Amino acid sequence: MAAQFLNRVGQFGLGVAIVGGVVNSALYNVDGGHRAVIFDRFTGVKNEVTGEGTHFFIPWVQRPIIYDIRSQPRNVPVVTGSKDLQNVNITLRILYRPIPDQLPKIYTILGQDYDERVLPSIAPEVLKAVVAQFDAGELITQREMVSQRVSDDLTERAKQFGFILDDISITHLTFGREFTLAVEMKQVAQQEAEKARFVVEKAEQQKLAAIISAEGDATAAGLLAKAFGEAGDGLVELRRIEAAEDIAYQLSRSRGVAYLPGNQNTLLNLPSTLAQ
């Protein structure tokens, strides 16, 4: 009796396990930020897009293809030429994601690696077309305009393939060695020109100062000549007296100077034997 009961329990458990395995094999999960497309062996890719959650499918007959619809980054380096034939190295950083309603079309035409098939193709094409309209100098001074035009044109092209570009930015922009060397030489030439201009301006100022000084000396000499002509020797005598007073004042402040009377023997105080 007990053996029959255990046998029935085992059969029931086996049946439950088989049913559970079949049910589990017919379930699939779609995580957050993802969508699923169903491929049917008889009807092909279905136009319906499955959202997040747990869903049923027919094993062996149907197969779910999961897509990540969140924004993903990608860097696209491009070497191109400017309007003035300068080599330009540009790197674009692109944030892209597929349009959920376009997933059946994307899988049918491009597959799951749609970004590898599309972005390396359309990004260089659009970037080269835009950069070719600007000179090397304009690429630096009008970088925001260049980035906006690339973003507009590339977004329009991406819509044709069923995905959206959330952000496009130029993260790297350099020029060829020849252009960089030419820019450095131009900067050096500008600095030398500024230095030469400063030297010329300094010489002009010095020349002007010399002319003004000479004109002042000539004016002073004319005034002195006029004063001498009017006052005669009296002005000379007055200047001599003023100079003597100034000298006497300076000497009076010196401790090592002694004054002696004029027209007298300076040896009066010496012994008579030394005087003889």
Q: What does the pLDDT average to over 175-190? A: 67
**Domain-wise residue ranges, the chain:** 23-68, 72-175, 177-248
For the segment 150-173, what is each residue's pLDDT rounded down to a tens digit?
999 999 999 999 989 999 998 888
What confidence tier does 1 reach under pLDDT thresholds 50, 70, 90?
A: low
For residues 89 and 174, is the Cβ–Cβ distance under 8 A?
Answer: yes
State the pLDDT at residue 273: 46
What's the predicted TM-score (pTM) here? 0.58
What confidence tier does 95 reach under pLDDT thresholds 50, 70, 90?
A: very high
CB 102: neighbour CB atoms within 10 A? 17
State the pLDDT at residue 13: 62
Share of the chain above pLDDT 90, in %: 27
For the segment 106-119, what is each residue's pLDDT rounded down to a tens digit?
999 998 888 898 99
State the pLDDT at residue 61: 87
State the pLDDT at residue 85: 80
CB 245: neighbour CB atoms within 10 A? 10
State the average pLDDT for the chain. Answer: 79
CB 92: neighbour CB atoms within 10 A? 23
| Nearest-angstrom CA–CA distance, 62 and 42 | 9
Angle between helices 143-159 and 114-131 (to 10 degrees): 140
State the pLDDT at residue 66: 93
Closest CA to 139 of 179, 186, 94, 197: 179
What confidence tier does 71 reach under pLDDT thresholds 50, 70, 90?
A: very high
199 or 257: whose pLDDT is higher? Answer: 199
Any idea what DSSP says for residue 69?
-
For the segment 27-44, what is each residue's pLDDT rounded down to a tens digit?
888 998 999 999 998 888
What confidence tier does 275 reach under pLDDT thresholds 50, 70, 90?
A: very low
What is 72-175's CATH number? 3.30.479.30
State the pLDDT at residue 133: 92
Share of the chain above pLDDT 70, in %: 74
